Amino acid sequence: MRVLKEGYTIIKDGIGTEVQDTLEQQGISIIPEGSITLPKGYESGGLHCGLKFKRKDIGWIVSHVPAQAAGVYTTNAYQAAPLQVTQESIAQEGKLQAVVVNSANANACTGPEGLEDAYAMRTLTAQQFGVPEHYAAIVSTGVIGERLDMDKVRSGIEEMDQLAHAGVANFEKAILTTDTCTKSVAVQCEIDGQTVSIGGVAKGSGMVHPNMATMLAFITTDANIEQTYLQNALKQATDHTFNRITVDGDTSTNDMVLLLANGEAGNDPLTLSHEQHEVFLQALIYVCEALAKMIARDGEGASKLIEVTVKGAQSEAEAEQIGKAVVGSSLVKTAVYGTDPNWGRIICAVGYSGQTGYNPDHVSVHIGPIEVVHEGRPTSFSEEEAKRVLEHSTVSITVDLHAGTQTATCWGCDLTYDYVRINASYRT
């Protein structure tokens, strides 16, 4: 079992000066201790109901008023029952007010009985918080193929009004599975003279691959925003962040990103025609990117974050596909773990990415600041210096196709012995 680093959040590793400066230029401020309750009108908490042996395993987020809601879900054909029920809730009116999340059990591949349990969980949530059923969302994560112990779930939901269980830190811990730490971030910006806050919390460590993975993310904002725009903004942010991470190449049955906007900030409604809509979008993208990188860094058994930037592509989609191929390569991942500057593995991944809009003889590759391939040919570089670069906690790889002007960045982690150990005994 992986050990949870109590009270530690990866965002506290720090933020690069360049990123900080860019955000400030856009009027966006990072709030170091912020989370999903930084925006006005939200409460959260978590407790232990018995699904896990000791650790917290059920949590909640509640908005004081109905909030516009947007969601993005796994592309796995086996969508877990909670995803089906939550999508049904949002489809009715485009709003949510209460979200309950359990860990330890995914309620996936559990047949009609599992769907009944999911509906029952939604009913219990709605009753507990006094909201219509279609304003309640439910989320599950954990082991696939086992029925939920509904007696334990019921007792947990019924205890959610106890003050001892309140607090965002309890929620952040309650949603974890094999994660070693909690993951949260928050920002503020000014729109129409009003302070607008966005907070995010995520879990995810293994079974993580582009186009959603075994990850959950919950984002709240007090922005006043039109629901269609909210959904489009979330989709755009997800495409540029969560869909560009990979840990092990597996896509889960339960992945979900939920975004709630309750309008408590009091700004004019945000739509595409609002002159400051881009400020909100960039703030949202930052929150999603920060959470995505935390997930990648905390990959099961991982010791390093790998950041692959592909530039000089004919299209952003081409750059993204090549970046995913490189960061998802088991051989690249093991080379990074072993501090082996084996650039041949990087070039190989570029070649099998399926993208053809470049000339292989023009491709250059950098590991950190060190150029190891120049226009298709190896360079003379110091192996020892390259190894030192690969010892860093964040390893940057840059591939320049020299074929266009488009760029994309993808994130992953190294592959260590611990990944096998953790997953060989996941259920035991």
Active site members? 214
Query: Is residue 54 a contact partner of residue 48, using CB atoms and an 8 Å limit?
Result: yes
One-letter amino acid identity for 191? I
Q: What DSSP character marks residue 269? A: P
Nearest to 279 by CA among 34, 38, 30, 23: 23
Residue type, position 51, single letter = L
The span from the CA of 271 to the CA of 258, in Å, is 19
Q: Which residues pair with 72 in a beta bridge?
A: 257
Structure-block tokens of residue 377:
């040919």
CA 330 to chain centre: 21
Q: Which residues on adjacent β-strands are paired with residue 221? A: 198, 261
How many other β-carbons are positioned within 10 Å of the β-carbon of residue 84?
A: 14
Using a 10 angstrom Cβ sphere, with 0-12 exposed, 13-18 middle and 19 or more buried, the burial of residue 240 is middle
Note whether 279 and 191 are within 8 A (CB).
Answer: yes
**Tokens linked to 88:** 């049904």
